[in-house]
Amino acid sequence: MTEFASIDELVADGRSVHIECSRETSAALLAAVRARYRTQRCAFVLETDRGFERDSVASHLRFYGSIARSSVHYEDAISHFNLRGVAKRKMGGLAPSALALVNLARASLFEPEMCFLERPLSDLDAEGRAVALTWIAERMEQGCRFVTTVEPLREALLMPGVACWHEEGRFIAVDQDEDSDEADGEKPAYEGDEVHVLKIPAHTETATLLFDPRDIDFAESMNKATYLSVRGERYQTPRTMDELERELSRAGFFRCHRSFLVNVQKVAKVERYTRNSFNLTLSDAAHSSIPLAKGRAEEMRERYRW
C-alpha cells in the first residue's frame, strides 16, 4: 500500500491524486500546489466559487476566456460541458449541478498543466459526471496533473489517477486493480446449482441487521472498514471484501474493483470514458457511480456476455 508521509511528498509525487480529506487539509494542499506550481499554467476550482450573481453563464466564461488567452473559445467550453441550455441564465440562479459544470468549463479555458479541484463530482448527476470525467481523462492524456480534494473516496476512485484518504497526517493510497487477480487469492468456484439461504450482517448502534443480498446495491471497502449500501443507506458489516465476494458471488455480485463488489442486477449502464477509464451506473435511487477496474472490465464482459 502506497503512503505519502506529508503534503509536500504527495504534491511532489507527479501523479494525479484524488483525496478524501477535511476542508482544512484541502486548504493546506491548495497552498502547497500554488507554491510548487506557480510557474506553470494552473486552474483552481474551489467549492466556494460562485461567480458574480448577475453575470450570465456566457458572460462569465467569456470574461475568463479573455483572461486565459488560450486556444479554447468560451463557446466551445459551453458546448463541451453541455451548458447551452443555461448559457443565458444568471450565475446566481444556477442549480448546484450546473454551477459545478460552469466551474469546470472555466478551468478548461486555461488549458492547465496543473488543476486543483474541490468536490468536482459531488454535485453532479450521472450525465454531468460523465462529462466531467471525460474532460479530466482527456486533459490527463495531454499531460495535465490533477489534485482533487474533499471528495468521498468512492467518487475519488472514479477518476483516473491515485485515490487516497487522509489519516493522522498521512495520505494512504487505495490499492488499484490491474490485470492480475493473484493478490486477491483464488477466485470463487462455480460448481453446482444448490440453493442456500444467505443473509449478510451489518451493525447499527443498537442492533444487528441481516440483509437479503437482493436488497444490497453494492459493498465498498473504505478506511479499513467494509460497508453495505442498501436503499441509499450505508451500514458497516463485519465481513471483509474477500469474505463478501466468496459469499455473494452466487447471488450475482461481481468484484468490479478491489474496493467494490456490485450487485450486477442493479447495473443500469456501463460507460467507458477513455481506454483506461470505466464506470458502472446503478439503477438505485442515487444512480450511484461505481468504478470498474481496467483489469476486470473484460472479465465482467465475458462473464455476463455484454
Asked if the model's pLDDT at residue 211 lies above 80, the reply is yes
Q: What is the pLDDT of residue 152?
A: 86
| pLDDT confidence band for 220 (50 / 70 / 90) | very high
Residue 109, in any domain of the structure: yes
Contact 166, 26 (CB under 8 A): no
| Shared-domain flag, residues 271 and 132 | no
Q: Regarding beta strands 233-237 and 225-230, do their DSSP bridges make them parallel or antiparallel, or are they unpaired? A: antiparallel
CATH number at residue 105: 3.40.50.300
Residue 210 has pLDDT above 80, yes or no: yes
Count of structural domains, the chain: 2
pLDDT at 183 (0 to 100): 42
Which region among 24-28, 65-69, 74-78, 301-305 has the lowest average model confidence (pLDDT)?
301-305
Q: pTM for the whole thing?
A: 0.77
Q: What is the pLDDT of residue 176?
A: 63
Q: Is residue 194 part of a domain?
A: no
The whole-chain average pLDDT of the chain stands at 90
For range 90-102, the mean pLDDT? 97
Strand (E) or helix (H) holding 202: strand 200-203
Specify which residues 226 forms β-bridges with. Answer: 221, 237
Q: pLDDT tens digit string along 112-171?
A: 999 999 999 989 988 899 899 999 999 999 999 999 999 888 888 889 899 999 988 999
Average pLDDT over residues 67-82: 95
Take residue 198 and report the three cell numbers written for it.
444467505
Share of the chain above pLDDT 90, in %: 73
The pLDDT, as a whole number, for residue 182 is 42
Please report whether residue 77 resides in a domain: yes
Shared domain check, 169 and 45: yes
Q: Same domain for 23 and 138?
A: yes
Which position has the higher pLDDT, 185 or 80?
A: 80
| Average pLDDT rounded to a whole number, residues 74-93 | 97
> Is the pLDDT confidence value at 229 over 70?
yes
Q: If you write DSSP's letter for every residue of 39-64 in order, what string do you get?
A: TS-EEEE-TT----TTSBHHHHHHHH
Do residue 169 and residue 219 come from a single domain? no
CA triplet 170, 176, 181: central angle to 5 degrees? 135
- Cell numbers linked to 191: 460448481
- The pLDDT confidence band at residue 276, using thresholds 50, 70 and 90, is confident
Collapse the DSSP code of 254 into the 3-class scheme (helix H, G, I; strand E, B; otherwise coil) and give the result: strand
Residue 179 resides in a domain = no
Assigned domain for 249 exists: yes
In a domain, 184, yes or no: no
In a domain, 183, yes or no: no
CATH of the domain at 300: 2.40.50.1020
128 and 243 in one domain? Answer: no
Q: Is the separation of the CB atoms in 230 and 203 below 8 Å?
A: no
Which of 121-135, 223-237, 269-283 bottoms out in mean pLDDT, i.e. has the lowest? Answer: 269-283
- Give the C-alpha separation, 80 to 275, whole Å: 20
Domain span at residue 165 reads 3-173
